[in-house]
Structure 1
Amino acid sequence: MTMTLAITDIPALDDGRLRTELEALLEDAVNGGASVGYHAPLESHWKRAFWDGVAGLLSSGAHRLLIARGSEGELLGSVQLALCTKPNGSHRAEVQKLLVFTRHRRRGVARSLMAAVEETARGLGRSLLVLDTLKGDGGEPFYEATGWQRAGLIPGYTVEADGAFGDTVLFYKSL
């Protein structure tokens, strides 16, 4: 079931309420098994450090943060776009950290965020997007179903909570 939502491009993380919501989103995603660089249970200092880092990237102008809110104003999810700043990469960007609250998954939030981040990239003159996801993660079939092309696999890219190495799958999409 698709839900009604509004997607907003956030230029800065200077709103305390939004920061609290985003920290809760990251914690929910990690504790729900999302492969976003952290292990559960997520400690408070990691949540703050993560969003502090995003705040710094936003201030550089080479990073975008899109959030989705439901009809009641509740935060549903977010996605980031890292713009390549090198002269030979002005046509490309990396989609990062697609996060959706577990209670709102399978309702079209991720698809809407991905469509919005692709449109944002187009508006910024980007024609090639890349991303990566853990092999075997739920993201892998989702990206394939939304038109992303598998570019390859890097073995042993991550260290999982149990100490095992995880492979990452690289995807791209031409806009």
Structure 2
Amino acid sequence: MPLTFHLDPPVGPDLRDGVLTLWTDVTNAGGAVGFVPPATAEQIRPEFVRHLVAMAEGRARLLVGYDEEGAVAATAFLTHNTHRLMRHWIWLYTVMVHPRHQGKGYGRDLLAAAEDAARSLEGVEAVRLTCRGGTGLENFYASCGYKEVGRVPDAIRLAPDDDREDIMMVLPLR
């Protein structure tokens, strides 16, 4: 059964707990979402709060995919670029699908919903994202229409002697 996507759902305890649980579960399954396993919800919470503040200030939008049980199963944050010369593109951050739902095509569905959301924003001509090297995610994003535009070697340090590339990708919308 496909996910049901909502842009800017009401933020309440169920949504907050659902996103935090998703983020923790994805991290602990090895997902490249800003943390390394093992991680706890308490370690992730401050970063999530920063996302919530950006949403409250109108600098970010939250796209949530709900499964058939109404649980948070996928998310992506769309963040406006505030630089006056770069307002024609947005960042896509913290793109996650719960591990129990991976392999069902929900990642593609999430990116398609994010593209639709970006197209609905006035003046947005492209979506940019970065992904961690060594995960193969750049191949997945490329299969969804994103183009690799650069790599920064050793930009992400997961642990001593474990540095990864930061891979930049763009999806043109026009």
Normalising to structure 1: TM-score of the pair? 0.92
Residue equivalent to 1:5 = 3
More off after superposition, 153-162 vs 50-59 = 153-162
Contact 1:64 1:82 in 2 (8 A): yes
Distance 1:153 1:132 in 2: 9
The runs of 5 or more residues in structure 1 that have no matched partner are none
Residue equivalent to 2:81 = 84
Match of 1:110 among 97, 107, 110: 107
Contact 1:153 1:170 in 2 (8 A): yes
CA RMSD of aligned residues (A): 1.5
Residue equivalent to 1:41 = 38
1:86 Cα deviation after fit: 2.3
Match of 1:56 among 26, 29, 53: 53
Normalising to structure 2: TM-score of the pair? 0.92
Identity of aligned residues (%): 26
Distance 2:9 2:55 in 1: 6
Structure 2: which amino acid aligns with 1:157? A
Residue equivalent to 1:141 = 139
1:146 Cα deviation after fit: 0.6
Q: Secondary structure at the match of 1:73?
A: coil
1:116-173 residue CA offsets vs partner (Å, 9 max, x unmatched): 1111111112111111111121422110111111111100111113541111111111
More off after superposition, 98-107 vs 108-117 = 108-117
The runs of 5 or more residues in structure 2 that have no matched partner are none
